Structure 1
Amino acid sequence: MVLVLALAALAIYGVVFFVKRLARPSEAKDPHLKVLASAPLGGGAFAAVVSVGSKAWLVGGGDAGVSLISEIDEPEALEAMLLDDARKAAEAKPNLFLDFRSLLGKLGRGAQGKHSAHAEALRKQRDRLRGL
């Protein structure tokens, strides 16, 4: 009985831990300083495009620190990155109230393709059954 009680307490702790982790609010962003793109390079290193206003720089970083690689001089590339960042910001609407659907959405982010294919198969089956 003690073992079952310990397992139940551990399960409750695990559920609370994951709900808190998923419900954590996103950090506040500075509207003037933006990370437009970033990529991990392995071994704790990364490369990122950082913009301030109408200027952008390619920076690299790792365990030793962050260093400037180059300034981005192509206005078309910078405009495309800024446009993509604005599109992502418009799509990401703030959710003040956490609901169960958004928690499930965060859990199933990696398997969205499977769910849409499964939903499509169910729709086809439903249409076939209606035709009978």
Structure 2
Amino acid sequence: SNVICGVDRSGRVYPLGVKYDEGTGLASLAVSRGAGKNTFSEEYGANHPLAAIITPAATQKLCIASCYCCGEGTTGFVALTMPPHVPPVFMHYMSKYNTSFASDMHIEGGAGESLYLASTTGTDKMFLIVNYRLVS
């Protein structure tokens, strides 16, 4: 098969998608951390006892890659869950911090299982971002 190649400064030929380290002489696969991710973002201003925010097709699974939450409140919490799995995927305590971020996650739900939001922040505004992949 044909492979698209690149050439480094010393004239070595290597396939694109491979990173060559001239210091060590080693090659490694170059992978985009953002490839294949979807992003959910929403601002909320009310409590949510348990609301589905992302629902995959019945044959697909959600794979949560990162979560970010910030809010103007000083009380309450924000929880992201994939029932029936315990513990929660992500927790943010407004009384402790006004911003929380979790990255480099790989939390996979079951086929067709939704990601749910539960919050007790009252009418204080809160902004949520979830990066995820849909996998078979």
Q: TM-score, normalised by structure 2?
A: 0.23
The answer to which structure, 1 or 2, has the higher relative contact order (CA under 8 A, 6+ apart) is: 2
Q: Which has the higher strand share?
A: 2
Q: Which has the higher helix share?
A: 1
Q: TM-score, normalised by structure 1?
A: 0.24
Structure number, greater radius of gyration: 1
